[in-house]
Amino acid sequence: MEMYDLSIQFDHHCTISDLSSKYPSADFQFWDNVQRGFLEIKSKKPDDFSPINMELRKLARDKDFAILQKKVNQKGELSALVMFDHDSKGSSVSMVAKCGCFLVFPMFISAGREYLHILAFEKGASTRLLKSLRTAGNARIEKERRIDFEISGLSSIMPLINPISDLTSKQVTALATSMRYGYYELPRHTSTGKIASALNVPRTTFQDHRKKAETKLMNALAPYIMTHVEQQ
């Protein structure tokens, strides 16, 4: 069975894309479950908070929109989750479906541009999809590669199992705390010893929990990662 993995950039006018174009420093992620859409907004730019907050309030006045979560941390970084009734008619979601392709969520939107991750199940589908998208805006294929479905399988391209489901609570805590303290930042903002000291646990114990968490996480993601390795 032929299958193609596509990366497409799509520029067109819609509520979400137009909103993201106003705030290019913010990251937008969109999910769709046919009847409802979910939009996550994150911005590390403190100046974005007030204007984006006003935009969210405007959306909330519409009965079809609901703000599920909104918060600002001590650095002034904004995160919000919005749910809304979604009429997919004429959207990139509906165009992808009509062309017999599969849209892998979340859809990333930045500075007014949608970044679509598409699975096409025949060679001609990508051509039909590009033609359809171009009736509504500018679209171009950034990357296209053929996948051997018999070898990789769909689950290796789009993992359906929660990658942290096999982690213990202590292992999840070790990962989350390391992230919060900047352990995985470049350059690294802290050390294992400092994190363990803040949690009042032995350094070797904390390090062991985190190492096991990292190993389990990489094993869970291994099939997905390996399918994205360029063939030599």
Residue 153: its pLDDT value, please?
A: 59
167-180 pLDDT, tens per residue?
Answer: 888 888 899 999 99
**Residue ranges per structural domain of the chain:** 2-157, 169-227
Three-class secondary structure of residue 200 per DSSP: coil
Q: Is the pLDDT of residue 10 over 50?
A: yes
12-29 pLDDT, tens per residue?
Answer: 988 889 999 999 989 898
Residue 160: its pLDDT value, please?
A: 44
**Structure confidence at residue 229 as a pLDDT band (50, 70, 90):** low
Residue 227: its pLDDT value, please?
A: 55
Distance CA 144, CA 2 (A): 13
In the chain, the percentage of residues whose pLDDT exceeds 70 is 85
Closest listed residue to residue 9, CA positions, set 125, 108, 104: 108
**Structure confidence at residue 228 as a pLDDT band (50, 70, 90):** low
100-113 pLDDT, tens per residue?
Answer: 898 888 889 999 99
* Model pTM score: 0.65
Answer positive or negative: Cα dihedral of 133, 134, 138, 141: positive
